[in-house]
Amino acid sequence: MYYGTETQLTDPHSIRLIGAPFDGTVSFRPGTRFGPAGIRAAADGLESYSPLIDADLESVSYADAGDLFLPMGNTEIALSMIREAIEECLDDGALPFLLGGEHLVSLPAIQAVHARYPGLVVVQLDAHADQREDYLGIKLSHASVIRRVSEFTGQDHIRQIGIRSGTQEEYRLMREHGTLTTFREEDLAALKDWIGERPLYLTVDLDVFDPAYLPGTGTPEPGGIDWWTFQRFLKWMQGCHIVGMDAVELAPQLDASGCSSVLAAKVVREMLLVAGAGRD
C-alpha cells in the first residue's frame, strides 16, 4: 500500500517515506530496527480510505524510498546517513516522513528540517520525556533526543504531549519551560493556536499509546492513549503547515498478535492523509 510509484518519487509535492531501521542505543528491549518492515507489512491489510479525515491515500502523492542501510554499531555514521537522506528529500521538494527505528533517528531528521525552516516548532507525542542531559553518559540516546533538539530549536519551540514518565530533573525542566500539554480538547485548541502558521515537525513515539493497544515497543509505559484520542489529536493538526514528521519505536516482534504493527500502520496512514491534504 505504501510503495507508490517511480513518478511519485520525483513529484515535488510528494511525501517521502524513509525507513531508518536503527536501534543502536536502546536501553531496554531491542527490536525497533524491524519497525519499518513491520509497518509496511501491516499496511497491506489496511483500507486506503480514512472515514475520519474523509480522504483516500489515492488522493495523496507519496512514495516509499525504502530503508536506509545503517551501520548498527556506529551511531554517528547512522545519524549522518539519516540527515543526508532527509536533506536530499528536502532538496527534491518532498516532505520527509521517517519510519523508525528508535527515537534517536528523529534527531538528524529534525536538524535537517530545522536548517530549512528556522522558525520550526516541534510537537512530540510520547510516553517518555526524552529530555535527559545524557543516558548512562551517552548524549546521543533515544532518552535524550528532545533535549538535543531543544539545543537548536529552544525549549520554547517544543510541545510534549502524552508524557507520563521521566526523571524529577526532566519534569522540573519541562515545567519550567511549559513544554507539557495534554489531549484535553481545550489544550489541543491552545496547541493549534500556539503552532499557528509556523512550520511544524510532528514526531510520534508510538509508545504514547497504551501498552494494551501497542505492546510491541521497546519501553512500554502504562497509562497511555487509545486510537480515538490519537485521531482527535490529528484532526486538530489538520491545516497546520507540516514540513516533516516521523513515527518511531515500533518493535513488531515484541507483539506476537501483530496488532501493534497494524496500529502503527494506521497511524502512518492518517498522518499521510493529514499532511498530504495541505500539499496541493
The binding site for Mn ion (CB under 5 A) comprises 103, 126-128, 130, 205, 207
- Are 143 and 130 in contact, with CB atoms under 8 Å apart? yes
Over 193-262, what HEC string results? HHHCCCCEEEEEEHHHECCCCCCCECCCCCCCECHHHHHHHHHHHCCCCEEEEEEECECHHHCCCCHHHH
Closer CB to Mn ion, 238 or 253, in the complex: 253
157's CB contacts (< 8 A; 6+ apart) are 119, 120, 121, 122
Closer CB to Mn ion, 101 or 199, in the complex: 101
Closer CB to Mn ion, 50 or 141, in the complex: 141
* Strand, helix or coil for residue 16: strand
CB of 143 to Mn ion, least distance (A): 8
- Are 129 and 160 in contact, with CB atoms under 8 Å apart? yes
CB of 217 to Mn ion, least distance (A): 8
Closer CB to Mn ion, 4 or 211, in the complex: 211
CB of 183 to Mn ion, least distance (A): 16
Closer CB to Mn ion, 116 or 164, in the complex: 164
CB of 162 to Mn ion, least distance (A): 9
CB of 262 to Mn ion, least distance (A): 20
Closer CB to Mn ion, 207 or 246, in the complex: 207
CA nearest neighbour of 238 among 50, 65, 20, 58? 50
Round to whole Å and give the CA distance between 2 and 269: 9
- Are 80 and 69 in contact, with CB atoms under 8 Å apart? no
CB of 103 to Mn ion, least distance (A): 4
CB of 137 to Mn ion, least distance (A): 19
State which H helix or E strand residue 75 sits in: helix 75-91
Round to whole Å and give the CA distance between 30 and 250: 10
State CA 39 to chain mean position distance.
Answer: 13
Closer CB to Mn ion, 63 or 251, in the complex: 251
Q: Is 199 left (phi over 0), alpha (psi -120 to 50) or beta?
A: beta
Residues in the chain: 280
